[in-house]
Amino acid sequence: MANVGVIGLQWGDEGKGKVIDYLSDFADVIVRFQGGPNAGHTIVANGQKVILHLIPSGILRENKYCVIGNGVVLDPAVLEQEITELKKLGFIKDDKKFLISGLAHVIMPYHKKLDALKESKGTKKIGTTGRGIGPAYEDKSSRLGIRVIDLLDRKVFTEKVKQNLEIKNYVIKKYYKDEGFKPRQVIKDYSQYVKLLRKYTADSVSFLHKCLDRKKAILFEGAQGTYLDIDHGTYPYVTSSNTMSGNMSCGSGLPPTSIDRIVGITKAYTMRVGEGPFPTELAGPEGELMRKIGDEFGATTGRPRRCGWFDAVIVKRAVKLNGVTGLALMKLDVLDTFEKINVCVAYKIGKRLYSQPPMDIQDYYRCEPQYEQLDGWNRSIRGVKKYEDLPENAKKYLKRLEELTGARIDIISTGPERESTIILRNPFSS
Ligand code: IMP
């Protein structure tokens, strides 16, 4: 059995939840390796719509091990809420099958406050999810962070909270002119999560290595997307972790050589939430129509998502950056009613044509997308399960996307339900 990673190739919200839900059926273990409750995976399972922000989507399948890896930043309040809701719906039947790395960093209340303050009072608004992600990763990098294992040790936790709050309170009060935090209150509030965390905290690295030795099938669950990657995304309009396949190893503790296949997820069009450049964005009625048909509203924040045509320039680069072995093309049915469908094949900046995304963010804003136009199929493909049943123009569209991105399409999604999927190749077995 192969080990498979799932990565978003655009700006997040590509539909990873559905693919992970499908693929987790073939996996023994599902591991999240980066990000935190800024993710939002919407899955329709057993007729129920479930939105998960932190817990790996594989939790919805029985008899699977789910791991929150060391690269994740974890908000205990979100964790508690998700566990409660999942248990109410009949999921997480066996607590021993859900593991949280003791090395994962904890999102503290001051992280959430600083995230909000930076967004509202800072000079550059990023349009974050407001979940404290950036400030938590900042503390991790500056070696001030509090890990799950620290939270479980009363003495260490108390010391770390006090040390952190000396600095955070100074910034919050003096720079942002806002109300600070009392160490005792923070310690008290977070102590209530100790019991819950103790139940799930483990040496996830040793566990995952044991799984590897026993040839268990492992699924790496990516969150956000390639263009929100802190290094390769549209910096500074990015999230604060490496979202790409390269981080599957660091964020889980498994070696890069253990990952056999990378499934790159992309929508049949493009969308993003928050601020930042988006060359193929449709600001007018076409974009509005796409948003409406695609129900494009953020799973975490509810914000309307910006929509536009498929951008082959960014996807082609993302295929290379992540070493994608096969694509999953999502929401093809959203394009059903478009008579003509545009695909961006290059950018024009000034008088020059570019086939790669620019490094400079200002150039990104100046990009004029160069479109190739294809005929639409003008009929509903909602729920189609076989490739042969797709209209010819839909097949032509898919073929052209393969040529332009340099990757073959393995999975096609034609609706939100688990069953509305065309599987051309299963990455676990092909
Ligand atoms: P943060 O991750 O909350 O710091 O937000 C940074 C940027 O990443 C913002 O533009 C967010 O909208 C975006 N972002 C973070 N998580 C997701 C996600 O799961 N899907 C889409 N966009 C996201």
pLDDT tens-digit series, residues 189-228:
999 999 999 999 999 999 999 999 999 999 999 999 999 9
Q: Are residues 414 and 315 in the same domain?
A: yes
Torsion over CA of 151, 154, 160 and 161, rounded to 10 degrees? 80
Tell me, using a 6 A CB cutoff, whether residue 136 lines ligand 1. Answer: no
Tell me, using a 6 A CB cutoff, whether residue 223 lines ligand 1. Answer: yes
Q: Are residues 122 and 216 in the same domain?
A: no
130 alpha carbon to ligand 1 midpoint, in Å? Answer: 9
Query: pLDDT digit string (tens) for 341-378?
Result: 999 999 999 999 999 999 999 999 999 999 999 999 99
Cβ atoms of 279 and 348 closer than 8 Å:
no
With respect to residue 85, please indicate whether it lies within any of the assigned structural domains: yes
- Confidence band for 35, pLDDT divided at 50, 70 and 90: very high
CA distance 225 to 271: 11
| The pLDDT value given to residue 359 | 96
With respect to residue 428, please indicate whether it lies within any of the assigned structural domains: no
| The pLDDT value given to residue 227 | 98
53 included as an active-site residue = no
With respect to residue 430, please indicate whether it lies within any of the assigned structural domains: no
Tell me, using a 6 A CB cutoff, whether residue 13 lines ligand 1. Answer: yes
Q: Are residues 214 and 84 in the same domain?
A: yes
Cβ atoms of 428 and 410 closer than 8 Å:
no
CA distance 242 to 105: 15
Is the bond into 358 cis (omega within 30 degrees of 0)? no
Query: pLDDT digit string (tens) for 98-154?
Result: 999 999 999 999 999 999 999 998 778 999 999 999 999 999 999 999 999 999 999
Question: Which segment of 87-96, 105-114, 128-137, 267-276 scores lowest on mean pLDDT?
Answer: 87-96
With respect to residue 22, please indicate whether it lies within any of the assigned structural domains: yes
With respect to residue 429, please indicate whether it lies within any of the assigned structural domains: no
Q: Are residues 281 and 414 in the same domain?
A: yes
Q: Given 137, 169, 194, which residue is the final one in a domain? A: 194
Cβ atoms of 36 and 72 closer than 8 Å:
yes
> What Rg value do the Cα atoms of the chain yield, rounded?
22
Percentage with pLDDT > 70 across the chain: 99
| The pLDDT value given to residue 300 | 72
Q: Which secondary-structure segment (H or E) carries 119?
A: helix 109-121
Q: Are residues 289 and 413 in the same domain?
A: yes
41 included as an active-site residue = yes
To test ligand 1's pocket by mutation, which of 20, 140, 228 has the most ligand atoms within 8 angstroms of CB?
A: 228
| The pLDDT value given to residue 42 | 74
Q: Are residues 351 and 282 in the same domain?
A: yes
pTM to 2 decimal places: 0.96
Pull the structure tokens for residue 27.
């996996």
375 alpha carbon to ligand 1 midpoint, in Å? Answer: 33
Is the bond into 369 cis (omega within 30 degrees of 0)? no
> How many other CB atoms are found less than 10 A from the CB of residue 60?
26
| The pLDDT value given to residue 62 | 86
Pull the structure tokens for residue 147.
């890990």
| The pLDDT value given to residue 430 | 57
CA distance 30 to 72: 14
Which residue CA neighbors atom 22 of ligand 1 most closely? 12
To test ligand 1's pocket by mutation, which of 226, 239, 296 has the most ligand atoms within 8 angstroms of CB?
A: 239
12 alpha carbon to ligand 1 midpoint, in Å? Answer: 7
Q: Are residues 139 and 247 in the same domain?
A: no
Q: Are residues 377 and 303 in the same domain?
A: yes
The CATH number for 322's domain is: 3.90.170.10
Catalytic option among 21, 41, 115, 410: 41
pLDDT of 316 higher than 70: yes
> How many other CB atoms are found less than 10 A from the CB of residue 392?
9
Tell me, using a 6 A CB cutoff, whether residue 241 lines ligand 1. Answer: no
Bigger pLDDT: 17 vs 380: 380
With respect to residue 212, please indicate whether it lies within any of the assigned structural domains: yes
With respect to residue 394, please indicate whether it lies within any of the assigned structural domains: yes
| The pLDDT value given to residue 90 | 87
Q: Are residues 207 and 159 in the same domain?
A: no
Q: Given 159, 194, 229, which residue is the final one in a domain? A: 194
Identity of residue 408: R
Q: Are residues 90 and 143 in the same domain?
A: no
Cβ atoms of 259 and 3 closer than 8 Å:
yes
The helix/strand/coil state of 26 is helix
The helix/strand/coil state of 120 is helix
* Summary mean pLDDT of the chain: 95
DSSP lists the bridge partners of residue 372 as 343
The CATH number for 144's domain is: 1.10.300.10
Give the residue carrying structure tokens 């469908």. Answer: 341
Q: How many CA atoms lie within 13 A of 229 on its CB side?
A: 22
Q: Given 262, 284, 310, which residue is the final one in a domain? A: 262
Query: pLDDT digit string (tens) for 44-85?
Result: 766 777 888 999 988 988 899 999 999 999 999 999 999 999
Tell me, using a 6 A CB cutoff, whether residue 274 lines ligand 1. Answer: yes
With respect to residue 55, please indicate whether it lies within any of the assigned structural domains: yes
Overall number of domains in the chain: 3
Residue 394: which domain range? 265-423
Q: Are residues 77 and 221 in the same domain?
A: yes
Q: Are residues 350 and 301 in the same domain?
A: yes
Tell me, using a 6 A CB cutoff, whether residue 126 lines ligand 1. Answer: yes
| The pLDDT value given to residue 58 | 86
Backbone angles phi, psi at 265, to 5 degrees: -100, 130
DSSP string covering 59-114 = GGSTT-EEEE-TT-EE-HHHHHHHHHHHHHTT----GGGEEEETTSEEPPHHHHHH
